[in-house]
Structure 1
Amino acid sequence: MEKQNYILILGAGGNIGGKIADRLLAQEVTVGVVGRNPENLKRFEGKAELWLGDFNDDTFLKEALRKASSLFLTVPDSAFSDLNATAARLARLLKDTPVTHIVNISNSIIKKAGQATRLVALEAELNYYLEQHMLHLRCGNFFENLNWGLHTPYAPDLKLPYVSSYEVAHVAAAHLLQQDFTGKQVQALTGNQDYSMAELAAAAGVNYRQLPYSDENVHFYKPFNEGDFEVEPRLASYTLADEQFTLAYFLKHDLKAEAMPV
């Protein structure tokens, strides 16, 4: 029998956190949703316990954690300025709470330009400071990232792992509910195949146009185009359990028109 517990979702107003909350609420699980924007949490009124506040507010976050037994963790950009301090702060706030299991969103790109990516570097700090059981979900690029635009500085034939946010939510919700991991673990969520931007654009019905680097983005795209990155290995066996997990579903239901300039 699945263990029932109070599950707290940080970043519930976002793409992944909101989908996790939806899946848990559909199973009549007791859920707390945390976010800063009341409009993003409005749809959970009457369904979940709403926690409206800032991740960086110690008093607020400690109160939100006080009765949770499972935690979905995602941190804002500001938390990456000092990973050591962020992990130490979370350990302090989690101390003496009932939280025993944490699912953390991470990145399947584990190294870039010879350095650990920031989400993977955060994993190490969390593993060191936190006493709770932790599962790091190392995710490929989300299909939703294509809504930033189908034309990018990525080389046309560069292949990277892509995954549906629905699949990530499905996996994360199950682990949070079942608490079926111990110690510090990693799970790869890299979808069923790699895609190039040329392939993704063609699937959407447009011809891919590689954009030039800018001063702002060259540090991000150039290591990929030059092959200076390392990816978490894909699981040997993979089954698409739901049509929502597929590229075809994303293209039909979630791709925004403004992402598709000719």
Structure 2
Amino acid sequence: MIVIIGATGNVGSKVTANLQHLDIPFLGIRSANGAPDGIRSGDLMDPDFLKDIASNAQSIFSILPGSLYPNWEDYAELLTNAIKESPVSHIVNISNAVIEKNGEPSILNSFETKLNTLADVHIKHLRCANFFDNLKWGLNNGYEGDLKLPYISTHEIAGVASDYLSKRNFVGHSVDVLLGPADYSMNEFCQLTGADSREMLMTEESRSFFEPFNQGAFKIAARTTANTTSNADPRYYLDYFLTNELRKG
């Protein structure tokens, strides 16, 4: 059995669709109430719930929900404790290609480190670029207009994750960097989406997130042929997202 944490999210929903297509059994987990048919909802900060969903799992698809970022250390402790008492042998964990900000490890990089305390569990960390899906939130954000960052399709991430989950063909603790087809700036997205203009908006709450990027105080893997999209699947490229998935207006 494969447990999919975040089964209704941008990546998790595509992982579940891929596993359904392959006729591979899984248990989808949603942390919020109101889960659709076939998906189980529960409190990821409840140790009994975590132990229950891990109790019959061979593999886990892990993604840290944004709502748990403030409590990520507590959640990581609960999750690792549940896995230690389970038959789980493999984990595919979604991380971020930005591994350092302001000279400190990013939250997702630190979460990787905590999972790696599971010495007997094989773990594949997927350090991914920003999602194309982020554009659904709009172009008015705290990024400087000319700042270029890598972006990736969640279809591609789900494809890689689903392959690892179904084959369990990785050993030890390892990392794949997935930087998508190219780097883009907000100004370029503005042109590509046909937006007339954008505002650089930064609240006091979001300042700590955006400022390190604008000041160049972050560390990310260099783009190489190996971590750049090469698959012919059209869903993996920006044109497909802009045409088929970006909500207009």
After TM superposition, the score normalised by the length of structure 1 is 0.87
Post-superposition shift, 1:230? 1.0
> What corresponds to 2:36 in structure 1?
41
Alignment of 1:237-248 (within 5 A): 237=226, 238=228, 239-248=230-239
Cα RMSD, aligned residues only:
1.8
After TM superposition, the score normalised by the length of structure 2 is 0.92
C-alpha distance 212-55 of structure 1, shift in aligned 2 (>3 A) = closer
C-alpha distance 93-154 of structure 1, shift in aligned 2 (>3 A) = same
Deviations 1:3-33 (A, max 9, x none): xxx2110111211111101001101001111
Deviations 1:86-118 (A, max 9, x none): 333222211232210000110101111111111
Cα distance in 2 for residues equivalent to 1:96 and 1:90:
10
The answer to whether the Cα contact below 8 Å between 2:140 and 2:201 also exists between their aligned partners in 1 is: no
The answer to whether the Cα contact below 8 Å between 2:45 and 2:78 also exists between their aligned partners in 1 is: no
Instruction: For residue 77 of structure 2, give the secondary structure of its aligned residue in structure 1.
Output: helix
Question: After alignment, is 140-149 or 229-238 more displaced?
Answer: 229-238
**Is residue 28 from structure 1 mapped to residue 23 from structure 2 by the alignment?**
yes
Instruction: For residue 123 of structure 2, give the secondary structure of its aligned residue in structure 1.
Output: strand
Alignment of 1:42-61 (within 5 A): 42=37, 45=38, 50-61=39-50
**Is residue 196 from structure 1 mapped to residue 185 from structure 2 by the alignment?**
yes
Post-superposition shift, 1:82? 5.0
1:228 to 199, 205, 217: 217
The answer to whether the Cα contact below 8 Å between 2:7 and 2:29 also exists between their aligned partners in 1 is: yes
Alignment of 1:24-103 (within 5 A): 24-37=19-32, 39-42=34-37, 45=38, 50-77=39-66, 79-81=68-70, 83-103=72-92
Cα distance in 2 for residues equivalent to 1:122 and 1:37:
21
Alignment of 1:121-136 (within 5 A): 121-129=110-118, 131-136=120-125
Post-superposition shift, 1:144? 0.4
1:167 to 151, 156, 159: 156
Instruction: For residue 151 of structure 2, give the secondary structure of its aligned residue in structure 1.
Output: strand
Cα distance in 2 for residues equivalent to 1:106 and 1:257:
29
What residue identity is the alignment partner of 2:236?
A: F
Cα distance in 2 for residues equivalent to 1:96 and 1:216:
38
1:16 to 11, 14, 19: 11
C-alpha distance 36-213 of structure 1, shift in aligned 2 (>3 A) = closer
Deviations 1:172-203 (A, max 9, x none): 00001111111111111110211111111111
The answer to whether the Cα contact below 8 Å between 2:44 and 2:75 also exists between their aligned partners in 1 is: no
C-alpha distance 240-200 of structure 1, shift in aligned 2 (>3 A) = farther
C-alpha distance 189-162 of structure 1, shift in aligned 2 (>3 A) = same
Identity %: 37
Instruction: For residue 223 of structure 2, give the secondary structure of its aligned residue in structure 1.
Output: coil
> Runs of 5+ in structure 1 lacking a partner?
1-5
> Runs of 5+ in structure 2 lacking a partner?
none
What residue identity is the alignment partner of 1:174?
A: D
Cα distance in 2 for residues equivalent to 1:208 and 1:134:
43
1:209 to 188, 191, 198: 198
What residue identity is the alignment partner of 1:231?
A: I
The answer to whether the Cα contact below 8 Å between 2:126 and 2:176 also exists between their aligned partners in 1 is: yes
